[in-house]
């Protein structure tokens, strides 16, 4: 007999199948040509992924005609919402004049100028097509500058899907050459003593410490007071560099997390928001480091790519970032605060241990007895229950990402966030009897088993 949580999962999946038959048909068709019917693991879920046809503003529409309030903004990228009129207008005009050529264009330098103007550590920028490539190229710059091979990263952090970082606990993941792990050493996020220990052991070989200051892979667990500063100090003390992977965190302020927390890295990887919704990445840093990529240098670093800084992405990014001013960023960050307060309210009403981690517009739901503060806490949080709530919300027309991830858009209204909190409250009422049976530690008034 299925336990109470399994029974809810079956119920949610049944409702989902009934609502989304056309997504199911697309999935069956996709399976014949794509492994697992999927080409992007982060948006795959059982029984099959939702197929979206398009949308505008804060809403998306699936192939069965249902509308969803999009709380994911394509994993934090379309911060202005979908099909922003200014971006659509600029890009449509340009698409009719060609989408790329083997020559420079006038928009990439303007986007670069804007990033230089806004982001404290960035004096020079190069563009890529993804955050993954941006990180790879920042790492290449760090290795070239230091003559060292190793990179120190936080356990459980995600920096893109390239081999260098596809290691878990020092071991290469399936399909990756085993020695990949030799070049990566890992410390515990928010544990300064662990960073010090790792750097004492490996510091002479470490080209850079890399950190995602939003710590998306760890449920947006915020950096502890002084932790980023400690990374800065440890990198410098051992003659290595500090890389901020701001692919996600850049949206937290106009100058990114580095401006928000007042810690300046040597190199910064960027992506997502800077492409105005198009595929993008960029890396930047001090001129002395970045100029190693200049073809005018005798021993320059190679960096090429057919679509690097392509006109459509560059124009879309430039247009989008011009729309994004300090007030708009403050607004979207306040929406995140509002979500956290709303969830705290409904969690208290329903007597369920549900907490919201994260900063500003980047948030994550966590089923745990108390607010997670460490990676161990996040690891102990009930992701399976979070997945059930995600399915419940999806069936209610609220799109969140796997693991209960929210990355909000500037066109979402405060009332809509209250509506999401209310929907979460209804989800908790639905979950509560099963939690009493299967996870009593999450339910107020129940003793832990």
Ligand X SMILES: Cc1ncc(COP(=O)(O)O)c(C=O)c1O
Catalog residues that contact ligand X under the rule CB under 6 A.
75, 130-132, 135, 158-160, 212, 216, 245, 247-248, 271, 281
List own/partner pairs for 189-194 with CB under 8 A and 24 or more apart.
189/154, 189/155, 189/156, 189/157, 189/215, 189/218, 189/221, 189/227, 189/374, 189/375, 190/221, 190/223, 190/224, 190/227, 190/373, 190/374, 190/375, 191/374, 192/226, 192/227, 192/230
Rg of the chain (C-alpha set): 22
3-state DSSP: the chain helix, strand, coil percent, rounded to 5? Answer: 50, 15, 35
Distance of CA 320 to the CA centre of its chain: 18
Catalytic residue at 27?
A: no
Residue 4 beta carbon to ligand X: minimum distance, rounded to whole angstroms: 33
Residue 344 beta carbon to ligand X: minimum distance, rounded to whole angstroms: 26
For ligand X, the closer of residues 131 and 284 by Cβ is 131
Residue 42 beta carbon to ligand X: minimum distance, rounded to whole angstroms: 7
Say if CB 196 and CB 170 are below 8 A apart: no
- Among residues 16, 48, 59, 158, the one annotated as catalytic is 158
Say if CB 256 and CB 92 are below 8 A apart: no
Measure CA of the first residue to CA of the last residue in the chain; give whole Å.
Answer: 21
Neighbours of 256 (CB within 10 A): 27
- Among residues 16, 272, 293, 377, the one annotated as catalytic is 272
Residue 275 beta carbon to ligand X: minimum distance, rounded to whole angstroms: 9
Catalytic residue at 150?
A: no
Q: Is the preceding omega at residue 47 within 30 degrees of 0, hence cis?
A: yes
For ligand X, the closer of residues 129 and 366 by Cβ is 129
Residue 180 beta carbon to ligand X: minimum distance, rounded to whole angstroms: 17
For ligand X, the closer of residues 115 and 247 by Cβ is 247
For ligand X, the closer of residues 131 and 203 by Cβ is 131
Residue 25 beta carbon to ligand X: minimum distance, rounded to whole angstroms: 27
Catalytic residue at 272?
A: yes
For ligand X, the closer of residues 212 and 234 by Cβ is 212
Phi, psi dihedrals of residue 219, rounded to the nearest 5°: 70, 35
Residue 169 beta carbon to ligand X: minimum distance, rounded to whole angstroms: 19
* Helix (H), strand (E) at residue 363: strand 362-367
For ligand X, the closer of residues 274 and 346 by Cβ is 274
d(CA 108, CA 114): 10
Residue 61 beta carbon to ligand X: minimum distance, rounded to whole angstroms: 24
State which residue has the least CB distance to ligand X. 131
The DSSP call for residue 418 is H
Say if CB 125 and CB 282 are below 8 A apart: yes
Nearest CA to 274 out of 106, 98, 126, 162 is that of 126
d(CA 446, CA 435): 10
For ligand X, the closer of residues 217 and 289 by Cβ is 217
| Sign of the torsion formed by the C-alpha atoms of 60, 61, 62 and 66 | positive
Helices (H), 186-278: 192-202, 227-237, 256-261
- SS3 for 405? strand
For ligand X, the closer of residues 111 and 421 by Cβ is 111
- Among residues 191, 245, 266, 377, the one annotated as catalytic is 245
Q: Which residues are catalytic?
A: 158, 245, 272
């Amino acid at each position: 007999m299925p336990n109470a949580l399994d029974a809810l999962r079956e119920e949610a999946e049944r409702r989902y199948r009934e609502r989304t038959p056309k997504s199911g048909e697309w999935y069956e068709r996709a399976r014949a040509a794509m492994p697992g019917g999927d080409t992007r693991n982060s948006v795959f879920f059982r029984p099959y992924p939702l197929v979206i046809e398009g949308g505008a503003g804060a809403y998306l529409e699936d192939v069965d005609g249902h509308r969803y309030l999009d709380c994911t903004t394509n994993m934090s990228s379309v911060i202005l919402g979908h099909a922003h009129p200014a971006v659509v207008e600029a890009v449509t005009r340009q698409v009719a004049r060609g989408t790329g050529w083997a020559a420079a264009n006038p928009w990439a330098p303007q986007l670069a100028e804007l990033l230089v103007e806004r982001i404290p550590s960035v004096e020079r920028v190069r563009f890529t097509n993804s955050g993954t490539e941006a990180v790879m190229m920042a790492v290449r710059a760090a290795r070239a500058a230091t003559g060292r091979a190793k990179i120190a990263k936080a356990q459980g952090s995600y920096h893109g899907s390239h081999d260098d970082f596809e290691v878990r606990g020092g071991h290469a993941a399936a399909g990756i050459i085993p020695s990949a792990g030799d070049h990566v050493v890992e410390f515990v996020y928010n544990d300064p003593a662990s960073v010090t220990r790792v750097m004492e052991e490996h510091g002479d070989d470490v080209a850079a410490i890399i950190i995602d200051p939003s710590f998306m892979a760890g449920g947006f667990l915020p950096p502890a007071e002084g932790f980023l500063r400690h990374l800065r100090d440890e990198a410098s003390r051992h003659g290595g560099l500090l890389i901020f992977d701001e692919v996600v965190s850049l949206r937290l302020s106009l100058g990114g997390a580095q401006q928000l927390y007042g810690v300046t890295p040597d190199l910064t990887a960027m992506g997502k928001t800077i492409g105005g919704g198009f595929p993008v990445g960029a890396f930047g840093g001090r001129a002395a480091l970045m100029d190693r990529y200049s073809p005018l240098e005798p021993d320059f670093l190679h960096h090429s790519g057919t679509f690097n800084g392509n006109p459509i992405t560059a124009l879309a990014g430039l247009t989008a970032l011009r729309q994004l001013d300090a007030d708009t960023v403050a607004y979207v960050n306040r929406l995140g605060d509002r979500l956290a307060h709303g969830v705290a309210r409904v969690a208290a009403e329903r007597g369920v241990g549900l907490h919201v981690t994260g900063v500003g517009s980047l948030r994550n739901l966590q089923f745990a007895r108390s607010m997670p503060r460490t990676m161990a806490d996040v690891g102990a949080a009930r992701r399976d229950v979070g997945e059930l709530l995600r399915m419940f919300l999806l069936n209610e027309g609220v799109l969140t990402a796997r693991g209960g991830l929210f990355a909000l858009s500037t066109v979402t209204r405060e009332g809509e966030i209250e509506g999401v909190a209310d929907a979460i409250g209804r989800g908790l009422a639905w979950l509560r009897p099963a939690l009493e049976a299967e996870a009593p530690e999450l339910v107020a008034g129940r003793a832990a088993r």
